[in-house]
Amino acid sequence: MKAAVLGCGKIGAYALRDLYAHGGMDEIRLAAHHLDSARALAAELPPGGARVQPREVDVTDHAALLEMLSGCDVAVNCVGPNYRFEVAVALAAIEAGVHLVDLNDDYQTTERMHELDGAARAADVCIVLGLGASPGINNVLVRAAANQLDRVDEIHTSWVMTATDPGGHALACHLLHSLSGAALTVQDGQLVRVESFVDGGERLAFPEPVGEVEVFHVGHPEPLTLRRAFPEARVVDDKATFVPAEVNGWIRELGRFAREAEGPVKVDGRDVPPMDFAASRLLERCASVEVPREGALRVCLEGSRGGKRRRVFFSSAGLLGHGTGIPAAVGATMLARGVIESRGVRAPEECIEPNDFLYELFSRRQVATLHGWVED
């Protein structure tokens, strides 16, 4: 089997290492914008595994990307931010006839990706849309919880990140693009516009070391994809916060600056795009904060089983890199081996059998702690 990993940042490194150790691949093509980055990451791998081929690829060069993907069984897209590159990578994967796992966490691109469903089906490929931590693990946990219910009435997902584990520049751009203004949630069965880190505040308990924190609506794709998978649910929301909570304000402030800037920002005599400038400032501020690095996830579904009201909970705590790159690699392995049989553009809750996925993630990889309970 052959796989491709696009991107050599923190998340791409975790995906590569997991595919190398657990994917059973004969060959892994490792693509980066700079060849030296791919070579350096490949050199860190222990001997005796799959052949790793570092390649220099610009994902905006369709011909080069198509050539790199051709002949692969599956690809993992860890190039960000997703709002810039996701659709282009998906189009190349469809043309190449290659299954794809991506890390879509930009709700603005979700509908555009679903528009590719027919083309993906015609090409006999599956694109798993958003298989990181949240979206990703959270979505699979929703499916696992729904399996404990006859009817799903409400779906609540939430997550916590810390300032000491904010990811790299691409993730910072995503945060400022999607989490600094308007967001969508489902209330009374209808999509409703809300404001990220402003509306819907409530205190929730997460596993230690996070504990109890206040979370808010945020601009993530979970309400959109979960609404498609569970159309009977009247409430579907995704809430989040950073620790410390001051980071929420930084994201709104710097995101507003990036949107409203009328031109490039001068830095040491160079013109820097406003979003890149704002993302760098966000990372600088986060670097000055000292808090535990672990983040957390939480899922709560309300509904009924056997005519009785029931709530099902899952929660987990761990690190961002582990919780994003490794789930994507697990999904890619399942696709390459034919465990995932769906075709088209599918969110995790639509195509992944929870038991297999969660076993690989939490038992074999021990990516994080996992807790689950039911209240009747």
Name the domain boundary from 279, 299, 320. 320
Domain count, the chain: 2
Is there a single domain that holds both residue 216 and residue 339?
Answer: no
Is there a single domain that holds both residue 206 and residue 267?
Answer: yes
CA distance 297 to 157: 8
Point out which residues pair with 302 in neighbouring strands: 154, 311
pLDDT at residue 321, rounded to an integer: 74
- Locus of tokens 């961002």: 320
> Does residue 374 form part of some domain?
no
pLDDT at residue 10, rounded to an integer: 87
**Which among 275, 277, 187 has a CA at the least distance from the CA of 238?**
187
- Locus of tokens 């990307």: 65
Is there a single domain that holds both residue 164 and residue 290?
Answer: yes
**Buried b / exposed e across 304-337, counting CB within 10 Å, b at 16+?**
eeeeeebbbbbbbbbbbbbbbbbbbbbbbbbbbe
Is there a single domain that holds both residue 86 and residue 39?
Answer: yes
CA distance 223 to 185: 6
CATH, residue 202? 3.30.360.10
Name the domain boundary from 298, 320, 342. 320
Is there a single domain that holds both residue 203 and residue 328?
Answer: no
Is there a single domain that holds both residue 293 and residue 200?
Answer: yes
Is there a single domain that holds both residue 48 and residue 91?
Answer: yes
Handedness of CA 129, 251, 15, 158 (dihedral sign): negative
pLDDT at residue 166, rounded to an integer: 64
Is there a single domain that holds both residue 110 and residue 173?
Answer: no
CA distance 177 to 185: 17
> Does residue 278 form part of some domain?
yes
> Does residue 352 form part of some domain?
yes
Is there a single domain that holds both residue 204 and residue 286?
Answer: yes
Q: For residue 276, which amino acid is it?
A: D
> Does residue 375 form part of some domain?
no
What's the angle, vertex CA 83, arms to CA 77 and CA 85, rounded to 5?
A: 45
Q: What is the pTM of this model?
A: 0.95
pLDDT in tens, 196-233: 999 999 999 999 999 999 999 999 999 999 999 999 99
User: What is the per-residue DSSP string for 48-86?
Assistant: TS-EEEEEE--TT-HHHHHHHHTT-SEEEE--S-HHHHH
Query: Which residue segment(s) compose the domain that 74 sits in?
Result: 2-132+321-369
Q: Tell me the mean pLDDT per 10 residues along the chain, length 376.
A: 94 95 95 94 92 95 96 96 95 98 94 96 98 96 98 98 85 94 96 98 96 97 97 98 97 96 90 96 94 94 97 92 91 97 98 95 88 94
**Which among 329, 360, 363, 357 has a CA at the least distance from the CA of 4?**
329
User: Helix, strand, or coil here: 271?
Assistant: strand
Is there a single domain that holds both residue 203 and residue 294?
Answer: yes
CB contact at 8 A, 142 and 299: yes
> Does residue 51 form part of some domain?
yes
Is there a single domain that holds both residue 279 and residue 338?
Answer: no
CA distance 198 to 206: 20
CB contact at 8 A, 136 and 348: yes
308-318/295-305 β-pairing: antiparallel
CA distance 95 to 69: 9
pLDDT at residue 49, rounded to an integer: 86
Residue 237 burial by Cβ neighbours in a 10 Å radius (0-12, 13-18, 19+): buried
pLDDT at residue 301, rounded to an integer: 98
pLDDT at residue 368, rounded to an integer: 87
**Buried b / exposed e across 163-201, counting CB within 10 Å, b at 16+?**
bbbbbebbbbbbbbbbbbbebbbbeeeeeeebbbbeebe
